[in-house]
Amino acid sequence: MGFKLAIDGPAASGKSTISAKLAKKLGWNHIDTGSMYRAVTLVALEKGINLEDESSYSFVKDLDIKYEKEKIFVNGKDVTKAIREPIVNENVSLVSSFPSVRKELVALQQKAAQHGDVIVDGRDIGTVVMPNADLKIFLIASVDERTKRRYLDFINAGKEVDLSKVKTDLEIRDQKDSTRKESPLIKASDAILLDTTDMSIEETIKSIIKLINNKRGE
Ligand code: DC
């Protein structure tokens, strides 16, 4: 079976960075579920479908989506960089609000998480994708800290962005993700809340390893 670790939290709370580094350190698998919603959004944009119309997403079931070694592939094409474009950020909350899209991706995620020790990060992992996870963590950080982190991501990727726009975009996405009808971003009742506002990546990883070891010792 293996150890199943669910990490949920709002946009730019550090879920994917922490999960990737932790997985590397422990030699576990990692599945970044946000990248799958982003991949579907990218394909929808490329196809030029009416993004608002749920019935136009029937193509999703025929997509071959794979997340491997921190890279995301759609029908064999590496879209790791393309899914981080602002146009994807702006539309991914809408695309991920459709139940039929979620149904396909949740099934894919559950299958991918079946074997071995795995870290799955997203918004609904502790509540929907892995309700029986061995450990559930809900990562948060203040909106200003998350804005700073996302801003630096853009700058490091060589992109010119406006700090206040980064903040507004994050707030809009949080609002949409938390209030949507289908599987909203919500802390599972048995998840451990970890506020990383004043924590470094290394400190956060240490805390999570402690929690894993505690669980294993129970
Ligand atoms: O973690 P991220 O920012 O890459 O996620 C992108 C979007 O995908 C996020 O705004 C909401 C959606 N998402 C979701 O609905 N469920 C998940 N398990 C992961 C992400």
Nearest-CA residue for ligand 1 atom 2 is 34
Q: Tell which one of 32, 37, 93, 110 to mutate to probe ligand 1, the residue whose CB is within 8 A of the most ligand atoms.
A: 37
Give pLDDT tens digits for 52-105: 999 999 999 999 999 999 999 999 999 999 999 889 989 999 999 999 999 999
Amino acid at 189: S
Q: Tell which one of 65, 92, 102, 174 to mutate to probe ligand 1, the residue whose CB is within 8 A of the most ligand atoms.
A: 92
Ligand 1 mean position, distance from CA 122 (Å)? 6
The pLDDT score that the predictor gives to residue 32 is: 97
Q: Are the C-beta atoms of residues 110 and 133 closer than 8 Å to each other?
A: no
Return the ligand 1 atom nearest residue 109 CA.
18
The pLDDT score that the predictor gives to residue 159 is: 87
Domain boundaries, the chain: 4-216
User: Per CATH, the architecture of 4-216 is what?
Assistant: 3-Layer(aba) Sandwich (3.40)
Ligand 1 mean position, distance from CA 57 (Å)? 17
Three-state SS for 89-107 is: HHHHHHHCCCHHHHHHHHH
Which stretches of the chain drop beneath a pLDDT of 70?
none
Three-state SS for 15-36 is: HHHHHHHHHHHHCCEEEEHHHH
The pLDDT score that the predictor gives to residue 94 is: 95
Cβ atoms within 10 A of the Cβ of 171, count? 15
Q: Is the shortest distance between the CB of 130 and ligand 1 below 6 Å?
A: no
Q: Is pTM beyond 0.85 here?
A: yes
Distance CA 87, CA 74 (A): 18
The pLDDT score that the predictor gives to residue 218 is: 80
User: Strand 135-140 and strand 192-195: pairing?
Assistant: parallel
The pLDDT score that the predictor gives to residue 20 is: 97
